[in-house]
Structure 1
Amino acid sequence: MSDDNLLQRIDRLESLDAIRQLVAQYALSLDMRDLDAHVNLFAPDIRVSRDKVGRAHLKRWLDDTLRLQFTGTSHQTGNHIIEFEDPDHARGVVYSKNEHETGPEWVIMQMLYWDNYERIDGRWLFRRRLPCYWYATDLNKPPIGDMKMRWPGREPYHGAYHDLWPSWAEFWANPPTTDEPEVALPAPLDEFLTTMRRGASEPRIRVR
């Protein structure tokens, strides 16, 4: 093994750990309301809305949102898949199970994030996070049926949890028609997310 190859492999391992730490830091800083620590996990030119860019605008948006909606929150993350585009850019999917104290209700949530990470000045940061929700509901009200996003004071809505993955619709639309088993095609090791997306482009965030 060449020295260059060894250094590349070490850099990849260090990058994987740094990105996993980034996700854990996101959860802790958000739940403890350290908004300075939180917004500095994002790229300096993070887009917040159509006409607002930067950490200061992200901090203000978070402050307004958290004070208005949530007394307290807890984010439990796991199931983290990371794939690299090049040494300084990566994508990832991470599950998050969340709890929210909101007024008189205790809302539980299951979701995942589609992430894009970028190494800027030697530090891995979020380039963007796309939240995809399966359900949100009061602790005592199982979200059976459609429109599983059920926030207090809002009409139920669809959370897009399955929308990034064509396999969900394919599975339900194509039940087996014979007793013969079908060949299972593996996803390339470094292109698991790309394969599951069926080669579609990066999912987009609607800018407010």
Structure 2
Amino acid sequence: MIRVLIADDQTLMRDGLKTILDLEDDIEVVATCENGEQAIEQAIKLHPDVILMDIRMPVMNGVESVKKIKTSLPKIAVIMLTTFDDDEYIVEALSNGASGYLLKDIPADKLIEAIRDSLKGQLFIPTNIAAKLVAKLSHKESSKEILKKKLDLSEREIEVSSLLIEGHSNKQIAAKLFISEGTVKNYISNIYSKIGISDRTKAVLFLKENL
């Protein structure tokens, strides 16, 4: 059962999302919140698998909320929701660990698919947003220093990197390469060390840009 927390300041949106998700046999909405502060409190209390997080909310917005949640509960997948293409907020949320973002007018089946995919470690970031995010993260990490280290990868590490870019989880990578999950983790750790990045989202975006 996929346990979902919904955070949105609009009652109609919260109730609508809950109604849609409650129809699925493998999804359970464990709580709804109307601001980012409540989302943090409920996330700590309930440990959901996925959070649907509105970007613009009173008290605390979704960007600040995802930053605090991912710091203390890094395994929770957070999907940002927005009614418009708000690049600045979206990029900031993604750089703080969000798995991706969806427009609120997305069809119900696509929303449900995104929730399931988020648990597999898949990212859903449109190309234009990805480019801006890479630029932001590169600036934070000092792109010149990172580029000096890049691509000192073995053939197997490149295979693992390619599968990371495609959004596969460690378990899926292990199955595709016929190796154990522990070995996959070791390869990923080596890749992180070589490119100078320790966050999975940042690493995937860097590899996508440079491989």
TM-score (norm 2): 0.25
Structure showing the higher strand proportion among its residues? 1
TM-score (norm 1): 0.26
Structure showing the higher helix proportion among its residues? 2
Bigger Cα Rg: 1
